[in-house]
Amino acid sequence: MIKSEYTHEVFRKDIHCPQGLLENKNYAELENFFNVLWQSRSHKLPQLWENEWFDQPKQMFKDIFLNHGITALKHINEWHLAFPESFFPYIVRVRYWAFWAAEYRGQEWSSNVTDEMWDCAREAQKQLYASAMQAFAFSAETWTIALHLLNSAVHLDEPEWFAEWMLKRRYPSNLVHKIKPSAQAMAQKSGLNQDLKIDLPQDVPQLLQKYLNLKEEIDLPHADAAFWLKIFIEESGFGLLAVRDYCWYLLPRWGHDHQAIIDFAQSDWCQHFSEIEKSELNYIVWFDTLDTSFDKDQTLEIKKYIQKAQAILKRPLTERNRAVIYLKLAYFYYLLDENDPRILSCYQNAADYPVFDEYELDRAIYFWRHNAQDSDFLGRIALSNRKRLASAAVLYGFLCQHGWSSVEKNPLVAQSWYEQAKLLEAPKAYPEGRYCCFFRVANNFDDDHGYIFIIDLLHQGADLGFVYCCFSAGYIHSLAEHALYDVNQELYYAKKAADQGHYIAMYNMGIHYLNLSMDENQSQPKEYLKKSLGYFEQSRLGLEKSQQDHRYINSDLLNDLIDIYVTRLFNFSYYPEIAEQMIAVLKTKAHKRHIAAMCAIARLHFDLKNRPHYYDYAEAVKWCQAAYLQDPEHDLVKEVLYEIMGNTKRSIKKYNQTIANIAASDIPGRQDVLI
């Protein structure tokens, strides 16, 4: 039985990663934590100490760095003032800017990184390098920050001014932040702004001076990163963690090859490592040979990779790395047969290690549901990954709620883990927020028993601000034939989703208020029409922008919106101050040869009886003729033409005379003559 535990119970027992110290200004406790961790270097294995030195603070600070960046920066400065002799605040300040440089850069291929992301990443890098030089100048014991400079030098290249400052002692003349207006909102998350000082020391720190000759002598790929690697190795006397990071940058995806890693592992840089330690570097090559995707019909290739994975499992590996290979093996079995019983053995071997990502967790849930509901492996996976992976935190809470996969049933525990998931993955507006941690769990269970099992999960996710949960809960409560049907709940969650930018929810809210305005007992429809158009316009503008940015495309919904504008223009046009916005949209569409929009505008200007304030016969004829020129056989065009032209000699003559007085160039949507 896997015990169900509240988050505060888990983190209270986890003395390695005490939470809330920086948030709550517990600077003395922070000093004690880092001092104990620093001193433990003398009696711990070097590899273990390096991992703990970087992993534990990362877990401690991720939430405040990501969600309360400006506060974090302020508290780091206060910590420094409270303990001016300590080098730990210097290190944490460097970690802060390294975190944001990486966060802005993201994990996407460089071609998918927006200009604003690049700009903010490079501005954060200025602070990273300046803070690192301050740290080196204060104390040589800050050498561990070389790892952050190593990674930044690869992902962003070094700042142009840095080599001039370090090698030629030329202080940058205009070292300031330059943030474009389009990037300011993004920059503010970390505290970046035009006035933030970049405090670079005047002189090169003593720690670096003994390595300056090395800077121009290094003949290795990513020479700038290799410089920081050398410093890390020399100052630590070990440096496997930094070497491992560097070797990842020698993979083919970075323009190199596996042989480069093998050669580097045998070079003088790595001679102080044991063969077992070098196997960590060889593992990078072994893993990369398996790190590929297949179509399910590539059976022969998949079987070859299964043999490769089985061979790697016979080599010297850490238990954690062995678990990763088992996950790869499970993936290959899954491609051949989603229900292959060998997958169960793979998950049982990997379940106790924090190595799962979102996709692997998704496949594990699928296999458990369809083949192994009597197994405890899913509960073990949730247990081992709940502190680092948002989806695993949601899954652990969900399993606690229902008592599945050998997890002790305690629904009260679930809420605390859903809140922990929010700390690990902040809610995002639509469309980025549609594939959130709650989606990745709920989507795997939503066909069981008609949503009964997941509705509480969705409610709690919605209350935490996850737009997917808001929309899905609203959808479920809208199903008239379902036991969970509830109009009030439907409206409540649909509005929450709309307020977070969900395009379909905004469309649905627009329909809701439009229907209210058309109720025959409604004596004051104006406010409902105003709200309706407000939601429609938010949905339309968001859809068009997302389509331009290639983030989300839903042409059918856009077309439906314009169809509503066409068919309901009559209702809105009773209130010109509301209708003008709708008319402007229809005219924009009409100028792009949208026939229904042309016809709607023509009818509006011809309706003397009901809409005299819009009546303009010449305008009606102009737009009717524009539609006719697009497609004279279109049923709607024929209908509108009959209404406006009429069938008497007098009305037809009037129509033709009006056309004759309109210049051809003034007819909207005309196509140029092809010669």
What integer pLDDT is reported at residue 177 of this predicted model?
96
Q: What CA–CA distance (Å, rounded) separates 492 from 396?
A: 27
pLDDT, average across residues 628-651? 94
Q: What is the pLDDT of residues 297-339, one digit of tens each?
A: 899 999 999 999 999 999 888 899 999 999 999 999 999 999 9
Alpha-carbon separation of residue 232 from 94, 128, 484 (angstroms): 15, 17, 59
Q: What CA–CA distance (Å, rounded) separates 455 from 413?
A: 17
Q: What CA–CA distance (Å, rounded) separates 315 from 286?
A: 10
What integer pLDDT is reported at residue 528 of this predicted model?
94
Q: What is the pLDDT of residues 557-592, one digit of tens each?
A: 999 999 999 999 999 999 999 999 999 999 999 999
Residue type, 298: Q
Classify residue 370 by burial, with Cβ atoms within 10 Å: 0-12, 13-18, 19+: exposed
Residue type, 83: F
Token pair in block for residue 665:
């160039």
Check pLDDT > 50 for residue 675: no
DSSP string, 589-641: HHHTT-HHHHHHHHHHHH-TTT-GGG--HHHHHHHHHHHHHH-TT-HHHHHHH
Check pLDDT > 80 for residue 41: yes
Provide the pLDDT confidence category of residue 548 given band limits of 50, 70 and 90: confident
Check pLDDT > 70 for residue 449: no
Provide the pLDDT confidence category of residue 14 given band limits of 50, 70 and 90: low
Q: What CA–CA distance (Å, rounded) separates 575 from 565?
A: 14
Q: What is the pLDDT of residues 492-535, one digit of tens each?
A: 999 999 999 999 999 999 999 999 999 888 788 999 999 999 99
- Tokens 């594990």 belong to which residue? 364
pLDDT, average across residues 428-446? 89
Residue of higher predicted confidence among 108 and 462: 462
Kindly state the DSSP code that residue 263 receives in the 8-state scheme: H
Average pLDDT, the chain: 93
Q: What CA–CA distance (Å, rounded) separates 659 from 622?
A: 7
Query: Which distant-in-sequence residues (6+ apart) come within 8 Å of 84 by Cβ?
Result: none
Lowest-pLDDT range, 214-223, 255-264, 285-294, 582-591? 285-294
What integer pLDDT is reported at residue 674 of this predicted model?
41
**What percentage of the chain has pLDDT greater than the value 90?**
83
Would you give the end-to-end CA distance of the chain in angstroms?
Answer: 80
What integer pLDDT is reported at residue 536 of this predicted model?
97
What integer pLDDT is reported at residue 670 of this predicted model?
67
**What percentage of the chain has pLDDT greater than the value 70?**
98
What integer pLDDT is reported at residue 15 of this predicted model?
60
- Tokens 């369809």 belong to which residue? 370
**Largest separation between any pair of C-alpha atoms in the chain:** 105
Q: What is the pLDDT of residues 420-435, one digit of tens each?
A: 999 889 898 888 888 8
Q: What is the pLDDT of residues 344-365, one digit of tens each?
A: 999 999 999 999 999 999 999 9
What integer pLDDT is reported at residue 531 of this predicted model?
95
Check pLDDT > 60 for residue 376: yes
Check pLDDT > 50 for residue 537: yes
What integer pLDDT is reported at residue 446 of this predicted model?
75
What integer pLDDT is reported at residue 300 of this predicted model?
94
3-state secondary structure of 38: helix
- Residue 220: phi and psi, rounded to 5, are -135, 155
3-state secondary structure of 407: strand
Q: Quick check: pTM over 0.85?
A: no
What integer pLDDT is reported at residue 474 of this predicted model?
95
Angle between helices 649-660 and 635-645 (to 10 degrees): 100
Query: Positive or negative, the Cα torsion across 267, 273, 276, 278?
Result: negative
Alpha-carbon separation of residue 46 from 232, 269, 273 (angstroms): 13, 16, 11
What integer pLDDT is reported at residue 671 of this predicted model?
57
HEC letters along 589-601: HHHCCCHHHHHHH
Give the H/E segment covering residue 98: helix 88-105
Query: Which distant-in-sequence residues (6+ apart) come within 8 Å of 582 by Cβ?
Result: 533, 565, 569, 572
Check pLDDT > 50 for residue 208: yes
Count the Cβ atoms, other than its own, within 10 Å of residue 472: 25
